[in-house]
Amino acid sequence: MRHILRKCSLFKDKSFIRLVALAAAGSGIAYDLGNRNSDWSSRVSIRAVPHYTFSSNSLFPSLAPSGYGNPPLSFSSISSASSADVNKEPPKPCCGCLRRDSIANAAAKVGPAVVNLSVPKGFHGMTVGKSIGSGTIIDGDGTILTCAHVVVDFQGFTSSSKGKVDVTLQDGRSFEGTVVNADLHSDIAIVKINSKTPLPTAKLGSSSSLRPGDWVVALGCPLSLQNTITAGIVSCVDRKSSDLGLGGMRREYLQTDCAINAGNSGGPLVNIDGEVIGVNIMKVLAADGLSFSVPIDSVSKIIEHFKTKGRVVRPWLGLKMLDLNDMIVAQLKEKDVLFPDVTKGVLVPMVSPGSPAERAGFHPGDVVVEFEGKPVGSIKEVIEIMGDKVGKPIKVVVKRTRNTSATLTVIPEEANPDM
């Protein structure tokens, strides 16, 4: 290279020489870009230096006059690959990574187990249409998980099929199913079919590890269009029923932006691993991308209640509760200097008249800090500890103004299913 530069210096009185060395496979070419009438060129041999990349403008700033407007050039040299590199296997995809076929694979695992449900509806002895929905076969014995509002009377209409449901599988087989159990509060129901041939089933996953932003897939039969798949992400993992203006007892939903429509109700919400992590239940009609599902962890508990008790047993205290955190506590202290010194707990803003909580001595403004001997910091913890303890006394420690404490004994009652 130094030899070439020395040779080029002989032409400095005629024109400006721009030298470009292209190192590739051990050879290069030198060009005179200064004098466009010159046909001078020279082929030289340059020993390749592996794995170097540089820009012409940064390495040879004096060789890039603005008058010529030549684009930036890149120089690189790649060493020959060894036989070991050639025979090396490509890296395996990471676990949990979204690949080109991730959604298709997840849908393929669950799709065969997704069914179309149809129930004739009547009013005063007249057939006025039918209720359509979706379901998922979760057991080889023909157990189908779906929504209660698909198979049970919700609005004064009665099923003219007397608990019978028309079930159509993805493979075209049809069965007559029977409604075994339904819980109106959670809107979850179980339908059973009998088959002499094997049935496809879907695996239940866990909803507790879901995070906002996780990819999910919704499967079902919207408008009776079987084998319909939509995809989206989890928007919220604990959307409260009160946020949606729904009355009654507290419920939590998974919020997603998957497209669901009439007929999707009861269909599965699936994670990228092809596991059912929710039951699609409803959407907001006046908006796009606001769909809701019952978390599968809650559904699993409901199914267990169906098996052991024949119904879902829910204890009722008669308390309206609010989770506390440092910011809320600081704000409450600004408004009331007598608010108890707590770092976490569950605030009781209201006590229902005549409820077990009122009889136990709860007051508005109490902060529950201990429930059945365990410290608590959220409503979810209180519900988990309480479980299905109906008629059994529970010890509760509350903090009150001026940092006074009180230990109360409350006996939960079974909640009214219509609440």
Residue from 32, 183, 187, 366 carrying the catalytic annotation: 187
Do the beta carbons of residue 135 and residue 148 sit within 8 Å?
no
Specify whether 124 is catalytic: no
Do the beta carbons of residue 256 and residue 269 sit within 8 Å?
yes
Alpha carbon 92 to its chain centroid, in Å, reads 25
Cα separation, 268 vs 146, in Å, equals 8
Tokens 């939903």 belong to 253
10 Å CB burial of residue 179 (0-12, 13-18, 19+) is: buried
Specify whether 185 is catalytic: no
Do the beta carbons of residue 367 and residue 348 sit within 8 Å?
yes
Cα separation, 126 vs 128, in Å, equals 6
Do the beta carbons of residue 244 and residue 292 sit within 8 Å?
yes
Residue from 149, 161, 183, 291 carrying the catalytic annotation: 149
Structure-token pair, residue 362: 């709860």
Neighbours of 4 (CB within 10 A): 15
Cα separation, 177 vs 142, in Å, equals 9
266, 283, 251, 254: which is closest to 185 by C-alpha? 251
Sign of the Cα pseudo-torsion (385, 391, 392, 397, in order) = positive
Read off the DSSP letter of residue 24.
B
Angstrom distances, CA of residue 237 to CA of 254, 256, 295, 297: 5, 9, 9, 12
Alpha carbon 272 to its chain centroid, in Å, reads 9
Neighbours of 151 (CB within 10 A): 29
Residue from 134, 265, 291, 293 carrying the catalytic annotation: 265
Specify whether 355 is catalytic: no
Catalytically active residues, by annotation: 149, 187, 265
